[in-house]
Amino acid sequence: MVVPGERRLQILQTLAAMLEDPKGEKITTAALAARLDCSEAALYRHFASKAQMFEGLIEFIETSLFGVINQISAEEAQGLQQVEHILALLLNFAQRNRGMTKVLTGDALVNENERLQARINQVHDKIEAALKQALRVAATQEQIAASADFGALANILLCYVIGRWQQYAKSGFTREPAAHWAQQWPMLYVACLSQRNA
């Protein structure tokens, strides 16, 4: 017998797996129930709505990402190294969790409850805030100027990540987010360093 917590996880894992379909067809509770070999009523015993299922995925994303981001902030002393590790984490997380990438970009949330898009926007805002904080740390270490526009720079870095996520999702998961990371981080690093003279 499957215990309720395990069944909830199984439903979320199946939903995430269905989001990995490059064709990106709209996921219905009927299709999800069929994949799980159960009735739609059985799904609703664990989640009040499909929106709640997506909220479960967003919670997984938040827990996974911010658990590691907090660890990076605590363990890595250098501000620009924090930035590097956070960006690498965001790219690699998407590469390993294809279905979650569609949630992060909002593609999976089209035609779903609007509060879900608002929730994923909050995740983006929190990522941007974490990058901004890392840049502030870099400024205290004189890696970049104290007068630098941390908000603008954090936003550019976030836009880079979202762009890589979008390319991955829109290419049917062929253009991997971390594919050019080794070449692109030095370019982003130079952009950060240019703020020394800001």
Express each pLDDT in 129-181 by its tens digit.
999 999 999 999 999 999 999 999 999 999 999 999 999 999 999 999 999 99
Examine residue 191 and state whether it is found in any structural domain, yes or no: yes
CATH code, 71: 1.10.357.10
Examine residue 23 and state whether it is found in any structural domain, yes or no: no
Examine residue 140 and state whether it is found in any structural domain, yes or no: yes
Domain that holds residue 121: 50-197
Average pLDDT estimate for 101-124: 94
Exposure string over 144-173, b if 16+ CB within 10 A, otherwise e: beeebebeebbeebbebbbebbbebbeeeb
Compute the distance between CA of residue 35 and CA of residue 106 in angstroms, rounded to an integer.
Answer: 23
Query: If pLDDT is split at 50, 70 and 90, which confidence band does 196 have?
Result: low
> Is residue 15 pLDDT above 90, yes or no?
yes
From the CA atom positions of the chain, what is the Rg in Å? Answer: 19
Examine residue 18 and state whether it is found in any structural domain, yes or no: no
> Is residue 187 pLDDT above 60, yes or no?
yes
Compute the distance between CA of residue 133 and CA of residue 155 in angstroms, rounded to an integer.
Answer: 12
User: Per mean pLDDT, which range of 3-12, 81-90, 98-107, 132-141 is the poorest?
Assistant: 3-12
The residue length of the chain stands at 198
| Whether pTM exceeds 0.75 | yes
| Average pLDDT of the chain to the nearest whole number | 93
Examine residue 36 and state whether it is found in any structural domain, yes or no: no
Examine residue 59 and state whether it is found in any structural domain, yes or no: yes
Query: If pLDDT is split at 50, 70 and 90, which confidence band does 86 have?
Result: very high
As given in the structure block, the two tokens for residue 166 are: 């979008």
Q: How many domains does the chain have?
A: 1
- Structure confidence at residue 197 (pLDDT): 56
Examine residue 124 and state whether it is found in any structural domain, yes or no: yes
Examine residue 11 and state whether it is found in any structural domain, yes or no: no
